Structure formats: structure tokens, C-alpha cells
Chains A and B, each alone.
Chain A
Amino acid sequence: MTAQDQWNLSELWEKARDGRATEAEALRLNSLMNEHAEVLPLIARMALMDAQLRDMEEAAFQSKPTSGQVHVKARAWPWHVMTAAAAALVAAGTVWLLKAEPAPVATLVKAQFCKWGNSALPTLEGGLLKPGLLDLVEGMATLQFKSGAEVVMEAPVSLEVLSSMECRVRKGTVVADVPDRAKGFTVYTPETKVIDWGTRFGVSAGDDGKCLVQVIKGLVEVQRKGESKSKELRAGERADYGGFLASAVNPDADREDEPGRWLPETIKDLGDGWQAVTTAFGEGRDSWIQSNPNVKVTGQESYLRVKYSTFDGKLDRKAYMAFDISRFKGKQIEEAEFVINVEPSDLGFASLVPDAIFRVYVLTREDQDHWREAELNWNNAPAHDDLPQHRTSAIIGQALCVGSFTIPQGTTRGAFSVKSAAIAEALRSDTNSSLTLILCRETNETDRNGLAHAFASKENQRNSPPTLRVKVAN
């Protein structure tokens, strides 16, 4: 039975129970109930529901049931609203139950480091949101829907607020927290529908239809366009449609446009004695290692990924960067600074990682300086072993901490730097023209599936690679 058939049947039933059915309609109803096996149970459900509805207390028809005045038959019918709606309805024709001026369905409760694109909706904290589009370019924003569902937008993301129970992710990532009273809260993506049954889950969607649904807690139901059956996902499970993860890990994999029209210069004279060298220069290299031996990192990825998690032992990552510093040989180094650019990461959810502390180490064991991108891994990386404490740091004695920086939660853009005498000293004491830096995240995630931070590598075509800025005396 199609939805249309069901509506027709529902209407026929409505007339029949109201004593308004014509003789022909009554005959039709009788014969449908007798001859079509699926009709009788459906009508039975309608009949029972009618009986239940007639039996309901008034409070059940109010949005927020109040126990005090359950039996008071006081009407507060918004006349003007319904009349305006009805007038508009006549004009609209096809709209079956017209809404008046849309009411706010959500509130923007929190905006962290937000930059908004061309959003049609107010983007100040505390702003009431009617159905409409929100375009978050940077930062993290939390929406509280009237149903009780909470949705965190993780930039870059484009989200359409539809009603107190629905939203649509055009592209990007959101994490939804759905309490029991908002069960049924639905997140649409271009080709997938995710219905929540009281959980916490994340959705990442591309505008090309690729989609990743990841359940953090509880149960969600996923319906994919073109698939007849919906899929149930429980905590820890995910559905990846169209190879979302593959394209996220290497977003440049299927790039077909012309290769980089703009590339950051590998070495720059910044004036005033400052010079910059990136990992793209000379013998420079950059890559990362991951505690899962099945993940093959080639060093050709456009991101460097760094993560620390006690929830999953296979997801820890550390970044390795080697700088060719031969040009500073014999020069008098006064100061030095390390700069790295954060990129939006498509892996994991920023909501689950608080402000994150990163530590930068310089490899002091020069015999380990000549690692190769293609071969670097969890088992052979310099100043590293599998001990728990070395998942968040380098081995002291083989490497030296030269500084740290903190990336605020939800930050997806921007340069972070460490300027310290220790970096300058490491440059001065170098003897083999190669300096390896190791980047570790010290901050754990608060729950499984937290964000894996991403930084631009030398292969990144949009952002500058890791850079060493060095001040040389004249």
C-alpha cells in the first residue's frame, strides 16, 4: 500500500466514523476491509487510535503538558494565526495545512570562535532560529532545538534548520545529542536520512551525496536513498556511504583540476634577517604515524593527523616533520619559531575533544634523522615506542620538548606557533643539516570518535606546510 493509498483510506475512515460516507463509499470501505488483508489491521489501528485520542486529557494536546489544569476546558486558540494561515492557504493551493509566519524552532545557545558565511538566520548567541540556513565557516556552534535535541555544528558546515525535530546537513559535520523526549529527531543529508532514537551521533556529509554516520551512544536508524531497507546503527557502529572516509583521509585523491596554481614558496626571505623554510624544501619531509598497523600512511597525504585517545588504542597519531636546514649552516642563529596550520578535519567530532594541548619535540638523536616518508610507521619512528606514555610524547633522551600550543575546541583554521630558545638552540647544535620535529597531542578525547586534528602538510594545496622561521644575524 502506498502512502497515498493510506491517506485515501484514512480519509474514507474519517468520513465513515463521522457518518458522512456516501453509500458508495461505505460499500467500498466494507469491500476493502474484507478483500485486502492489509486494510483491516490498518483500520483497526485507526479505530483504536481514534478511541484513544477521544480519551486523552487536554494536557496531551498541549506542547508542554501541565499537570495543574488538566481538566480545565479553557481555550487559548491563536485566532489571528490560524486565520492568516488559512488565507495564505487558499493562495497556495497545494499546501494542505499551511503554516503561518514560521515560529522559532531552535536557539543558538553557544557560538565558539565562529565565523559565519551568508546565513539567512541570526548568528548571535541566544538568537532564536526559525527554519532556514546556517553557514558556519569557522568554529563551533551549538543549536538547541525546541524538541530538546541539541546539534553541534563543526565548521565548515552548512546546515538547514527545518523544524524542532528536523535539520538538514548540506555539507559538513554535526553531532546530535538527542534526549528521550526528542526521540525521532531526524537529520537529513543530500541522500541519507538519519533518525535518532535517543542517542548521541555524528553525521558528516558531502554535497556530492557521500555521507558518514557514526553512533557515539544509543541507536539510530539510517535510510539511504535508493535502498528499500533502513539500517540500524548502535554505539560504535558507523555507515560510510560513497567512500566518505576514503575521500576524507585523502581529499585530493580524485582532484582533476589543474595542479596547484599557487604553492607556498618553500623558502622565503621575510626581511629583517628572518627566513622561512618549509617541509617542502630540499630534503624536507612530513608524515604521521598511527597505532593501527593496517593504516598505510604514504606521506603524500595533504594532511598530517595527530590524535590521542584512551578509548581506542588504534587511533593514536603523531606527526613527524623534517626540515632541510642546510642553508643555515655556519650562520649565527638568533631566534627560531615553528608554525603549523590547522585544517578542517573530516575525521571524528570536535565536540568530543576539549581545548587540546600539543607538544613539539625536536629529535636529538641525529642518527635517526633520515627517516623516509614511505617507510615511517608506528614500529620504526624515531624517539618512539609503543609504551603508553609515548603515545602523547616522544622518548625523552632521544628527543627534547621545545614548546607547546593549545588549539581551542572547534578551531578549524589558523596558524599555531611555538617560538622558543630551545628551537634556536637545536638549530645551532645541528650537525647533519636535518632537523626533525615531532608533534604530539596531550589531550584525550572525552568519548570515542573524537576529532583527529589535521594540519596542512607540504602536499596541501590550500594551506602553507609546516614552517620553520629562523632569524639569522647579519
Chain B
Amino acid sequence: MTDRTTSFLELLTTHDRALSMYVHSLVPRDSSAEDILQQTKLLLWKHFADFELGTNFLAWARKIAFHQILSHRRQKKREHLPLDEVTLEALGAAVSELASELPQRHEALQHCLARLPTEHRQLMQLRYYDDLEIEQVAERVNRTEAAVYRALSRVRMTLMECVQKQMAAELA
């Protein structure tokens, strides 16, 4: 392996998770997000010669990923967030800011998830791990879709509050 290849692999490994979280945050469908990530990594390698070692690899990778997201959604609009490009970019920037504390967030989220009441945690599992559509979740728990939306939103707020507190406590 050349030094260049080693550097690339090192950088990519270091930032892989943060890049993945960035793309998945802006692309709600896992399959699309994975396509975009794969495409992005190919481009990163292809253009790695343009990357100046010592500068911010993650920022550079995000920029390329964001362009991939934009071109992907031009073709498959329905699979993307209903946000205009400016808003999506702003969201991307806001998500990037949070990503600096990604390991702590992950840990806090795991902790908070484990502390949810069983039925709420099961709801999250159906939605996120089993990746069921809302109507499938609704059918599983014998509820209307509207009720499931409401339930998911509230559980999410509970989790977010818990994560915030958890992070604050760790900083204290």
C-alpha cells in the first residue's frame, strides 16, 4: 500500500461513523443513505489527490456527500426530506456541529433508551430496528396511524430531553 492509500484509509476509518451519521441524518431512508455513502466514498478516493493533508477531512467529505445527496434527491425526490436546498444545507451544518460529541451522544442515547418504559422502547424498536412503516407499526400495536405518529413524537422528545440531561451531567 502506498502512503497515500494508508492515509486515506486511516482518515476514512476515523471519520466513517461521523460521515455516516451526517448522511443518515439528512437522508431518512437507509437504502438511499447507504447508496449515497458508497458513492461518496468512491468520489473521496477518486479526488483524494485534491485533498490537502492536515486540513479537515470530515468537512471535505461532508461537502462531497452533500452534493451526492442533492443529486440523488433530484432523481428520487419522494425518498428525501421535503426541505428546500438552503434549509437542507442549514440542517446539515447544524447536524455537523452536534457530531463533535458523537460518542457521548451515542452512549447517552443507549442509556436513555434502556430506561424507557418497556412499551415505549418496543415502539422504538418496531420503528427503528425493525424499520417498519407507520401503518405496520399501527397494525402491530393495534392503533391508528395518527396515534402512532403522536406516540413516536413524544417518545422522541422524552429521549432527547434525557440525552440533553445526560450530556449536561457528564460535562458537569
Q: Is the CB of A58 within 8 A of B129?
A: yes
Contact A77 to B122, CB < 8 A, known contacts A44-B91, A82-B140, A197-B169: yes
Complex Cα spacing A363 to B124, Å: 71
A contacts with B, residue count (CB < 8 A): 67
Complex Cα spacing A17 to B29, Å: 8
* Chain A nearest Cβ from B28, distance in angstroms: 4
> Is B115 in the interface zone, CB < 8 Å from A?
yes
> Is B54 in the interface zone, CB < 8 Å from A?
no
Q: Is the CB of B156 within 8 A of A49?
A: yes
Q: Interface stretch among A19-27, A398-406, A444-452?
A: A19-27
* Chain A nearest Cβ from B35, distance in angstroms: 15
* Interface residues as binary, B143-172 with A (CB distance below 8 Å gives 1, 0 otherwise): 100010111111111011011011001001
Q: Is the CB of A19 within 8 A of B78?
A: yes
Complex Cα spacing A175 to B172, Å: 23
Chain B residues near A55 (CB, 8 Å)?
20-21, 24
Contact A33 to B90, CB < 8 A, known contacts A53-B124, A60-B114: yes
Q: Is the CB of A33 within 8 A of B105?
A: no
* Chain A nearest Cβ from B52, distance in angstroms: 28
Q: Is the CB of B99 within 8 A of A14?
A: no
Complex Cα spacing A34 to B106, Å: 28
Q: Interface stretch among A84-92, A313-321, A366-374, A377-385?
A: A84-92
Q: Is the CB of B141 within 8 A of A86?
A: yes
Chain A residues near B151 (CB, 8 Å)?
96-97
Chain A residues near B105 (CB, 8 Å)?
48-49, 52
Complex Cα spacing A50 to B114, Å: 16
> Is B120 in the interface zone, CB < 8 Å from A?
yes
* Chain A nearest Cβ from B77, distance in angstroms: 9
> Is A103 in the interface zone, CB < 8 Å from B?
yes
Chain A residues near B26 (CB, 8 Å)?
47
Total of A-B residue pairs, C-beta within 8 Å: 178
From A3, A7, A52, A163, give the contact of B106 (CB < 8 A): A52
Chain A residues near B169 (CB, 8 Å)?
183, 197, 219
Max chain B C-beta neighbours (<10 A), residue from A17, A61, A181: A61
Q: Is the CB of A51 within 8 A of B90?
A: no
> Is B109 in the interface zone, CB < 8 Å from A?
yes
Q: Is the CB of A83 within 8 A of B114?
A: no
Classify the interface of chain A: helix, strand, loop or mixed: helix
Chain B residues near A47 (CB, 8 Å)?
25-26, 91, 95
Q: Is the CB of B109 within 8 A of A52?
A: yes
Q: Interface stretch among B39-47, B63-71, B80-88?
A: B80-88
**Residue of A with least CB distance to B141:** A82
**Residue of A with least CB distance to B155:** A97
Chain A residues near B81 (CB, 8 Å)?
16-17
Complex Cα spacing A99 to B109, Å: 23
> Is B121 in the interface zone, CB < 8 Å from A?
yes
> Is B30 in the interface zone, CB < 8 Å from A?
yes
* Chain A nearest Cβ from B147, distance in angstroms: 7
Chain B residues near A33 (CB, 8 Å)?
83, 87, 90-91
Complex Cα spacing A29 to B155, Å: 20
Q: Is the CB of A49 within 8 A of B109?
A: yes
**Residue of A with least CB distance to B28:** A17
> Is A36 in the interface zone, CB < 8 Å from B?
no
> Is A387 in the interface zone, CB < 8 Å from B?
no
Residues of A within 8 A of B (CB): 3, 6-7, 10-11, 13-21, 25-26, 29-30, 33-34, 40-41, 43-56, 58, 60-63, 65, 73, 75, 77, 81-83, 85-87, 89, 96-97, 99-100, 103, 147, 163, 165, 181, 183-184, 195, 197, 219, 232
The 4 closest A-B pairs by CB, nearest first: A44-B94, A26-B82, A51-B24, A86-B142
- New A-B pairs, 14, CB < 8 Å, besides A52-B105, A96-B147: A7-B154, A34-B86, A41-B94, A48-B21, A48-B98, A50-B28, A50-B128, A55-B24, A61-B125, A61-B128, A77-B140, A86-B142, A97-B119, A100-B119
**28 A-B Cβ contacts within 8 A?**
A10-B153, A14-B153, A16-B82, A19-B28, A19-B82, A20-B134, A26-B82, A30-B83, A34-B90, A43-B91, A44-B25, A44-B91, A47-B91, A51-B24, A52-B109, A56-B129, A60-B110, A61-B128, A62-B121, A73-B130, A97-B119, A97-B120, A100-B119, A103-B118, A165-B115, A195-B165, A219-B169, A219-B172
